[in-house]
Chains A and B, each alone.
Chain A
Amino acid sequence: MANPHRAEAIAGTLLALPAFILMWLMLLGPAVAVGLLSLTDWNFGEPRIGFAGLENYQELWDDRVFWISLRNTVIYVGVSVPATVLLGLLAAIAIEGAGRGRGFYRAAYFLPVASTLLAMALVWEFMFHPSVGFVNQVFRGLGLPTADWLQNPDTALFALAAIGVWQNLGLAMVLFMAGLKAIPPDLYEALAMDGADGAWERFRRVTWPMLGPALVFVVAITAIRSFQVFDTVQVLTEGGPSKSTEVLLFTMVQQGFTFLRSAYGAAITMVFLVLTLAITLAQTTILDRRAHYG
């Protein structure tokens, strides 16, 4: 009879092996390869490959389009994340306190998360139509200025950000709802005993401080998702007009796949990866600090 510990060790290794191999083949290996590729001069299909050191990064540094792209991505994230988080939080609190109709509201706000963004982007294109679009009709009715939102370099990026907010708001909302459920009800009762029972007091003294970790988490998730903005750009604006919606992943696909500059595309991918990791790092740092001193 074989040693049971040995049998368990063999079984564990064998059961983990297929997933482990695939994980390296499809994810970790290629991620390492992107880093290495970014240090070469290789263009897709070329017979020879040479070491180029940091030349690609040097070129990025001097590349006007890259800086526009980075700036646009940061603006997109900077606009859509606060809006998504704030509206998601408001929706979550309002729905929790709504009583009747909670199921309907939750479904309505969450539906965009579960729908095909690409199909809905085409609907948004029509919503933003300069003459017959919903947006301009409503704005006109309210006496607000109208525009050809997706074709105007001053507004296109914000129009895309609005679509992003619409799509992600429901996600932020359900995450906040889970956070709200975790707040012990006796905290509100204690507050009521103190005589402070207004909605604002309840929010300021209990909800907000107790929601801290959920808030950090939602901000990080929303930011990571916003950094990945691509579908709407690809199908609605293709980076235009005049590069006003050029964002990182779009630039990466253009360089890496359209112009076949694999090594240069890899360098852009590395920038994208580092920014994403920075968000995760910031999130864990803030949560750790709260855990220690909070």
Chain B
Amino acid sequence: MVKRVLTHVALLTGAAVMLAPFILMLSISLKPPGEVFSPHFALLPTQWYAVENYTAAFTKVPLLRFLLNGLFVTLCIFAAQALTALPMAYALAKLRWRGREAAFSMVVLALLIPPQVPAIPLYIGLWQLGLLNTYAAIILPSTISVFGIFLMRQFFRTVPDDLIAAARMDGLSEWAIVWRIMLPTAAPAIAAFACLSFIWNWNEFFWPLIAVQEEHLMTPPLGIAFFSNAEAGTSFGPLMAAATVVTAPLALAFLLAQRAFIEGVTMTGVK
């Protein structure tokens, strides 16, 4: 009994530390400048300043634009990733063709390369094509997900061959089999793939920082760094309001779809 209580005390203390930044962020986003630097921390403001802070966050920088950019970029990236990864995963898992083993080895090899490694050549290539400072510059390098190919291939291998044979008897093309047979059976794996793709690309800072300088193209992390720089640590209220707005979509999605998120991460351990 004592042991159980101690476990909960330790876990609650840990949870308090883990959640402290989120609580602080919300708290400051509600406070006027005078209270932010008050020597005694209070969870709630004495003078509510939420409207002013959140209004400032959306007007001092084009925060809405950053959010829409983030949404557009993540959707394009996942669409491209799924559109290319699923057919290849099916070909690797269920079809016999020359070079299949070699292609799979290359996928495994590519999995080992950290995403920052191709940055310099990609930058040079995009510069030669005149594509720096465009949405394409942010999207193109992420259009391929070798992780997605690997994950879906593992999952597709467990789909019974009879199902595919029956689909062929019904006259379905291989392309149609990918989308009408394999896709529905692999729903949990796709959900995990989608979750990870969105987490990773919504939060990605390294590559957009390199590829884009113009304010109207910035994704949420880039936009908030830009905001922080412009304000140089003076207006914490609006900055924390912006941080809350940027963090909220993923945090809410996570709380609603915990299982898919955690399973996705566990299946792979990668991002």
Binding site for B on A (CB under 8 A): 5, 8-13, 15-16, 18-20, 22-23, 25-31, 33-34, 37, 44, 87, 91, 94-95, 97-99, 101, 103-120, 122-127, 131-132, 134, 137, 166, 169-171, 174-175, 177-178, 199, 217-218, 221, 224, 227-228, 230-231, 234-235, 249, 252-253, 256-257, 262, 265-266, 269, 272-273, 276-277, 280
A12 to B17, CA, bound (A): 51
B18 proximity list for chain A (CB < 8 A): 108-109, 111-112, 166, 169-170
B19 proximity list for chain A (CB < 8 A): 108, 111
A20 to B146, CA, bound (A): 10
A25 to B146, CA, bound (A): 13
Inter-chain contact B91/A15, CB cutoff 8 Å:
yes
B91 proximity list for chain A (CB < 8 A): 11-13, 15-16
Inter-chain contact B84/A221, CB cutoff 8 Å:
no
B182-223 CB contact bits vs A (8 Å, 1 = yes)? 000000000000000001001101100110000000001100
- Choose from B87, B175, B247 the contact partner of A115 (Cβ within 8 Å): B247
Q: Is B178 an interface residue (CB 8 A)?
A: yes
- How many residue pairs at the A-B interface have CB separations less than 8 Å? 283
- Choose from A5, A25, A98, A124 the contact partner of B7 (Cβ within 8 Å): A98
Inter-chain contact A114/B250, CB cutoff 8 Å:
yes
Inter-chain contact B112/A280, CB cutoff 8 Å:
yes
Some 11 contacts from A to B, beta carbons below 8 A apart, are A12-B97, A25-B144, A28-B110, A34-B118, A120-B25, A131-B37, A230-B206, A256-B123, A262-B120, A266-B120, A272-B117
Q: Is B169 an interface residue (CB 8 A)?
A: no
- Choose from A109, A137, A175 the contact partner of B266 (Cβ within 8 Å): A175
Chain B nearest CB from A87 CB (Å) reads 8
Best-surrounded residue of A13, A29, A118 (most CB of chain B within 10 A)? A118
Inter-chain contact B21/A27, CB cutoff 8 Å:
no
B119 proximity list for chain A (CB < 8 A): 30, 252, 256, 269
- Choose from B87, B124, B261 the contact partner of A262 (Cβ within 8 Å): B124
A227 to B114, CA, bound (A): 10
B205 proximity list for chain A (CB < 8 A): 117-118, 230-231, 234
Q: Is B58 an interface residue (CB 8 A)?
A: no
- Choose from B10, B96, B114 the contact partner of A5 (Cβ within 8 Å): B96
Q: Given contacts A16-B88, A19-B144, A127-B21, is CB(A11)–CB(B95) below 8 Å?
A: yes
Q: Is B224 an interface residue (CB 8 A)?
A: yes
A261 to B224, CA, bound (A): 28
Inter-chain contact A127/B120, CB cutoff 8 Å:
no
- Choose from B11, B96, B122, B242 the contact partner of A98 (Cβ within 8 Å): B11
B261 proximity list for chain A (CB < 8 A): 110, 114
Q: Is B92 an interface residue (CB 8 A)?
A: yes
Residue of B nearest to A178 (CB): B266
Q: Is B73 an interface residue (CB 8 A)?
A: no
